[in-house]
Structure 1
């Protein structure tokens, strides 16, 4: 059961994280209250808001569980077919439960983290920080190229580039276009890049699930009543039996 608990925790974590991306009316109410805009809401309204948030998250969680009860997941991170199937199941959960994909979450994080950043350099540094915290690797070295491009533009302007400087930002975007061309990155290929990202994430999550399953079985094997039993192959486990 320890393994089952860990699996459910990982596979439905987005449902619990839903409080960060719930419908705008909840966020608007919270921000309005925090800023002191208008009269403070009564206790009843506050209770209603919390109840709404709870019911929303509960609905997402139950939706995720319902899908996991139906779909077979093979815990084999080295099998491309198993990884693709796991990614497909997670995508179905996101779509049915109205959750963000990884790329959407990154976009949301970027928008919220950078909305008050005025200069281009701080913006790029914030992007780097977000990437590192999400465990993403800059395999192409694009960040260094972008910083070089910014240095070039700021040298031309002879001052720091502010994001509201339309002329300067146009120059920077032109430099970024050159970088994308050099790296072979095309805007029309973005859906493919997103799919590749989701597969990488799916593989990493399956590796974590496999590790958790092995740890749970090793713990189980140490118990007296299971000492003589042979532990099953992780790939043979059917998650649906644990839900």
Structure 2
């Protein structure tokens, strides 16, 4: 069951700076989703439990059918694992990592009125998720904000559409300078998923080796040769 827990756990945050900065422009505009109808506590907890149970069972059902080779050094194995996990997310209706970041940004910034606090919150999200700003985009974005606020001679509010258009134009210049293009977002997503898949296979390999080493120390297994990790079939552990 340790393998299944690892497979279904949250993946490590291995994003480059594109993941936090390549967010569609619409997320900079202030939007507020209408709240759903209130639910009584017991019913809400029951609904959450049933939803989680359904997602978990769906994920396990897929993992029981798909063969996963624990070989993080084999690009084909990494690609296959990424494909399986993508199927799990789609069938179980789970967020991808980039979708999870976008959701976090939306929920945490929904009621922020000004652009500066928004950008600082974005930075806080990045730091707390262990992401790195390898491209130095944050400093460029703050410089762009300083430029716009100097031009309009007041703090930039997110509901000021005219001034926000100026800021977004500056952001477009930054994206162009950094080589970040909207049409390349699917490629960034694919590269990201492969990085995550490789990291998860590394973790699975590490866990498997540790488990085998522990088992080897037991008297009844001392004379038995441990199998190659790549030969393990995870479906037998689910």
- The answer for the alignment partner of 2:192 in structure 1 is 197
Check the 8 A contact 2:4/2:237 in 1, yes or no. Answer: no
Cα separation, 2, equivalents of 1:119 and 1:49: 34
Cα separation, 2, equivalents of 1:78 and 1:132: 29
Matched, 1:225 2:233: no
| CA apart distance, 1:172 | 0.8
Q: 1:164 aligns with which of 159, 170, 175?
A: 159
Q: 1:51 aligns with which of 42, 46, 50?
A: 46
Matched, 1:7 2:15: no
SS at match of 1:70: coil
Cα separation, 2, equivalents of 1:100 and 1:143: 25
Q: How many residue pairs align between the two structures?
A: 214
Please identify runs of 4+ aligned residues in structure 1 that moved more than 6 A: none
SS at match of 2:64: helix
Matched, 1:77 2:101: no
Check the 8 A contact 2:3/2:237 in 1, yes or no. Answer: no
- Unaligned segments of structure 1, at least 5 residues: 15-26, 34-40
- Unaligned segments of structure 2, at least 5 residues: 11-34
Map residues 1-243 of structure 1 onto 2, 5 A cutoff: 5-13=1-9, 28-29=36-37, 32=38, 41=40, 46-243=41-238
Higher relative contact order (CA 8 A, sep 6+): 2
SS at match of 2:157: coil
Cα RMSD of the aligned pairs, angstroms, is 1.8
Query: TM-score with structure 1 length normalisation?
Result: 0.81
Query: TM-score with structure 2 length normalisation?
Result: 0.83
Higher helix proportion: 1
